Amino acid sequence: MSSGRTLYDKIWDGHAVAPLSGDDWLLYIDRHLIHEVTSPQAFAGLKQASRQVRRPELTLAVADHNVPTIRRKLGVAGIADRESRAQVEALERNVIEFGIPYVPLIHRQQGIVHVIGPELGFTLPGMTVVCGDSHTSTHGAFGALAFGIGTSEVEHVFATQTLVQSHAKNMRIQVNGALGTGVTAKDLILAIIGQIGTAGATGHVVEYCGEAIARLDMAGRMTVCNMSIEAGARAGLIAPDEKTFEWLKGRPLVPQGEAFVEACSRWRRLRSDPDARFDREVVIEGPEIAPMVSWGTSPEAVTAIDGRVPDPKEASDAGRRAQIARMLDYMDLRPGQPLAGIPIDQVFIGSCTNARIEDLRAAAAIAREGHVSPGVRALVVPGSGMVKQAAEAEGLDQIFLDAGFDWRDAGCSMCLGMNEDRLNPGQRCASTSNRNFEGRQGPGGRTHLMSPAMAAAAAIAGKIVDVRTFGV
Amino acid sequence: MTGVAAPLPIANVDTDQIVPGRFLKGTTRDGLGKVLLAPLRYDPDGREQQDFILNREPWRQAKILVTLDNFGCGSSREHAAWALADFGIRTVLAPSFADIFYNNAFKNGLLPAKLEAGAVERLLALAGNPATCLLKVDLEAGEVTAATGETFPFDVPAEKREALLSGLDEIGRSLKLEPAIAEFETRHLPGVPPIPNGKF
Ligand code: SF4
């Protein structure tokens, strides 16, 4: 008796081209996003072997990781750093040579790959989506199988429009009930990673379901899927529903009219069968989740805002004890210290996790209540030019500027510290990004991950605070 | 392959540790060996940290890295594999690896070998002692042998082992399946809207 298939199984089956050796299959790729940092070596490999890009029309290029968030009007010429400029120029040469659709730096639709892909309707339900960037999992919010790949794989997709893959295991994370007031998708995914750990989903594709997931808007679903990689998952997925279709309707690359209606009826079938078997299941109670803040240098090192920094002495084994001690040393925190009240130097509201219009609205709602604390530098970096435009149309830019925040152009910015937006050694940052690794936001920098509203509240208070008790 | 093994007894070594973002500005695969594990190897002024293992003899010549769980987690940057390979590392021994790094490693002739946690503990101790840090990694046999005569089996999928041993050109192999890809596309592509070039 065969059991039903999961959503992941169905997308896999629909894209399996041919078996290879062992567990490996050739999997067809519908959508390939590329950017300036992980593509140049792939193009070089392609040229060296005199190969072509098989399906440039299924590919989309944008520069986002290593671009400045100021002087954007100057385009590539405005990139002061010589190496960074050379990288973007290489991308521009390569997209012309291989005929790949490209969103130029000065274009109003430029932005972070994982923000503009969905925004343009490049990502559609049921598709396979890859990019030389681990947070490609973001696109799973639309019921697409989306995952990050290395540069050799980028070259493989260029040449063959396929990838060598083995079928991952299935995992389901069900989130019951509704999230409380002031608790967001970011808090939910941080709580999940805190519970299952950074390797908790290694080898698995995670499908998120349950009431709390159904209630999330598309931005929230993208935030959840985005950080699946931080739990080690190959990909994160959410079955598409009417909210998904409503969000997609009318976007530039989405089928229009009759074709859209037809597509929706196909997309409605994209769900796991009721008798589908998951290799691993986790159930989370949504109402029990509080706003979360990370205290260490791994995304699993999180606790509720009313919690305390752990004491290594209380760890279960020697390895864990050493790990916590090392993290506290790097973060300059004391065992048992309350999270609330830790003073901060910088605030970063941005990244593919939390730089959509919904995130900026949540941050602005807090920003309008006060002014950035003296001595704190606070950056707001919209996820895309479209997000920036929408925010300006709503007057959010003015709210941020009046409150003493910097208002920048779209890009990855301080998420990974490749451009000049970074932390100085020893500086502490309240950040809406996804990684708090040592040095991620600049050598010696200390990152506390949290939601946009929590980060905005930290900017104003000058320290980490509970947004639920913050002035509003 | 026989070489010096360096112990790195840290779990969750992420790709930002292996190659920090600020070193990703190049357009070639070369030259990253000198920034491998930069945050651990160098002080903020760029001077070598005297006590870090890769800055000491004989581990400066390390060909093998012994480390803990979830090595290579984080970003998909293949620069991590390039940096290890450029430094001269041919094998990483650990109880587990993050998925993307694991794949990237094989594509660069680098073997990520999974061993039991107990074996890794022992190997860390052996690697930390200059007298016993020489290890032999036998890919065909799936076994690490120490100078003490101890052996430790490791796990590597058969197809990955073959690919490493034969120096497989994966793209070349996939291109041989061109007829299957083309046939798949005639069925599949009508449902995948193309992106017009020059739209943006
Ligand atoms: S915002 Fe950060 S995580 Fe997202 S794509 Fe850019 S660098 Fe990667």
Per residue in B66-93, pLDDT (tens digit) is: 999 999 999 999 999 999 999 999 999 9
Are the C-beta atoms of residues A272 and A5 closer than 8 Å to each other?
A: yes
Ligand 1 centroid from CA A412, angstroms: 5
Give residues with Cβ within 8 angstroms of A191, minimum separation 6.
A284, A289, A292, A302
Share of chain B above pLDDT 70, in %: 100
- DSSP lists the bridge partners of residue A304 as A292
CA distance A156 to B82: 17
Q: B58: cis peptide before it, omega within 30°?
A: yes
- Does any ligand 1 atom lie closer than 6 A to the CB of residue A434? yes
The CA-CA-CA angle for residues A157, A163, A165, to 5°, reads 160
**Chain A contact set for B24 (CB, 8 A):** 37, 65-66, 418
Whether the CB-CB separation of B170 and A162 falls below 8 Å is answered with: no
Chain B residue numbers touching A104 (CB-CB < 8 A)? 200
If residue B179 lies in a helix (H) or strand (E), which one and from where to where? helix B178-188
CB A437 within 8 A of CB B14: yes
Q: Determine the distance from the C-alpha atom of residue A31 to the mean position of all C-alpha atoms in its chain, rounded to a whole number.
A: 17
CB A129, CB A120: distance < 8 Å: no
Contact A415 CB / ligand 1 (< 6 Å): yes
- Please tell me whether the overall predicted TM-score, pTM, comes out greater than 0.80 for this model: yes
Is residue A374 scored above 70 in pLDDT?
yes
Among chain B residues, CA nearest to A18: B180
| B197 part of contact set with chain A, CB < 8 Å | yes
Q: Which residues of A66-94 are buried (b: 16+ CB within 10 A; e: fewer)?
A: bbbbeebeebbebbeeeebbbbbebbbeb
Beta bridge partners of A67: none
CA distance A23 to chain B (A): 8
Cβ pair A101, B197 in contact under 8 A? yes
Q: Which atom of ligand 1 is nearest to the CA of B75?
A: 8
CA A411–ligand 1 middle distance (angstroms): 8
A348 contacts A441 by C-beta, under 8 angstroms: yes
**Residue A231 near residue A197 (C-beta atoms within 8 A):** yes
Give the HSE-up count for residue A232: Cα atoms under 13 Å, Cβ half-sphere.
27
Residue B38 binned pLDDT confidence (cut-offs 50, 70, 90): very high
* pLDDT band at residue A471 using 50, 70 and 90 as cut-offs: low
What pLDDT score does B162 carry?
Answer: 92
pLDDT > 90 fraction of chain A, expressed in percent and rounded: 96
- Contact yes or no for A101 and B200 at CB 8 A: yes
Please indicate whether, in this complex, the C-beta atoms of A101 and B199 are within 8 angstroms of each other: yes
- Residue in A65, A102, A100 with CA at minimum distance from that of residue A81: A65
Where do the domains of chain A lie, and which CATH numbers do they carry?
A: 7-166 (3.30.499.10), 169-288 (3.40.1060.10), 295-461 (3.30.499.10)
For the packed helices A40-48 and A82-98, what is the interaxial angle rounded to 10 degrees?
A: 50
Q: Which residues of B touch A440 (CB under 8 A)?
A: 16, 21
Q: How far is the CA of A27 from the centre of ligand 1 (A)?
A: 25
Nearest to A466 by CA among A193, A183, A227: A183
Q: Which of A265, A187, A272, A275 is nearest to A227 (CA)?
A: A187
Whether A1 shows a pLDDT value over 80: the answer reads no
DSSP string, A86-116: HHHHHHHHHHHHHT--EE-TTSTT-B-HHHH
**What confidence tens digit (pLDDT) does each residue in A12-47 have?**
999 999 999 889 999 999 999 999 999 999 999 999
pLDDT recorded at residue A2: 67
Assess whether pLDDT exceeds 70 at residue B136: yes
With a 6 Å cutoff on the Cβ, whether A352 touches ligand 1 is yes
A106-154 pLDDT, tens digit per residue, is 999 999 999 999 999 999 999 999 999 999 999 999 999 999 999 999 9
Cβ–Cβ of B74/A23 closer than 8 Å?
A: no
Task: For ligand 1, say whether the CB of A412 is within 6 Å of any of its atoms.
Answer: yes
What angle, rounded to 10 degrees, do the helices at A357-367 and A452-461 form? 30
Question: How far apart are alpha carbons A22 and A244 in whole angstroms?
Answer: 37
* Residue bearing the CA closest to ligand 1, atom 2: A415
Chain B (27-66) residues lying within 8 Å, Cβ to Cβ, of chain A = 27-29, 39, 44
Which of B125, B14, B109, B106 lies closest to B66, judged by CA?
B125
Q: Which residues of A touch B188 (CB under 8 A)?
A: 14-15, 28
Question: What number is the average pLDDT over the span A368-385?
Answer: 97
Cα separation, A36 vs B145, in Å, equals: 42
The atom of ligand 1 lying closest to the CA of A353 is: 4
